[in-house]
Each structure stands twice: as structure tokens, then as C-alpha cells.
Amino acid sequence: MKKEEFVSLWLGNISSPDELEKILKTSYTEDGDLIPSIFANSFNIERYDDSVREADFYEESSSSLSRLLEDFSYDDTIIPEFISVCGEHLGKNYNAVVLLYNFNYKDIKKKVSIGDGEFEFLGSVKYM
């Protein structure tokens, strides 16, 4: 699923920024083997590069895709690209965003419940 110049987008509804951090936290065994995040396990993602992952939690949820993606890397490119895929106004409000750059998720799972919240995969687009 690693693919240069692509970015994959998930939107979710969760209770707090601490929950988002917990969901995205990776760790390692004593032997140095990666223990994937709850997010990665939930979407059957074996591995992604944390250094090109961006995420944010909003106190006020929104159904505006451009508002949710504003101020992320390459927002001038990814906002119109994702709008062409999903439309500007989403069917519901979201308060969490996860973007994986150089990653082209293959829609293995579209929507998952994580704890008391849920995340939904919206698509992948070229950002470069």
C-alpha cells in the first residue's frame, strides 16, 4: 500500500485528542519488532511511515471537507482532489482526521468502530 505521491484519508468521530493519540500510538517489543497502532490493526494495515502521518482532532465537528483538511500539508492540492472524490459537504459531521502520505490504501475496510468512536476511509488521491 506504500505508494509515493498518494495520500489516503480517514475521517472519524471520537471523544478527545487523547483518544486520537491512543488510537495512533505505535510501540515496539523488547526485540525491536513493531506493534502496530489500534488504527492500523483496525484497517488491516501492516505498516505505514509515522513520519508522513498527519492527524488532528477538532472540538467542533464539521461536514465541510475543506474545513476538515485546512492547514494540513499540501492542502492546496488535496482539498480539491478529495472534493472531486467525496464532494465538499459530507453526509455527516466528523471531528477527527487521519492522513497517510505516500500511502494508497486499497479500501480493505471502509468503516470500523474503535472504542466508543468510529473511523471511515474516504479515499486516496495524488498530492504531488
pLDDT in tens, 54-69: 999 999 999 999 999 9
- The mean pLDDT of 75-91, rounded to a whole number, is 96
How many structural domains compose the chain? 1
pLDDT at 108: 82
4 has pLDDT over 90: no
pLDDT at 34: 87
pLDDT at 120: 97
Q: What does residue 80 show for φ and ψ, rounded to 5 degrees? A: -65, -35
The residue among 76, 68, 64, 128 whose CA lies nearest residue 99 is 68
- pTM here? 0.94
Residue 18 and residue 55 in contact, taking contact as beta carbons nearer than 8 Å: no
Torsion sign, CA atoms 16, 89, 51, 124: positive
Domain span including residue 96: 2-126
User: Which pLDDT band holds residue 23 (cuts at 50, 70, 90)?
Assistant: very high
pLDDT at 84: 96
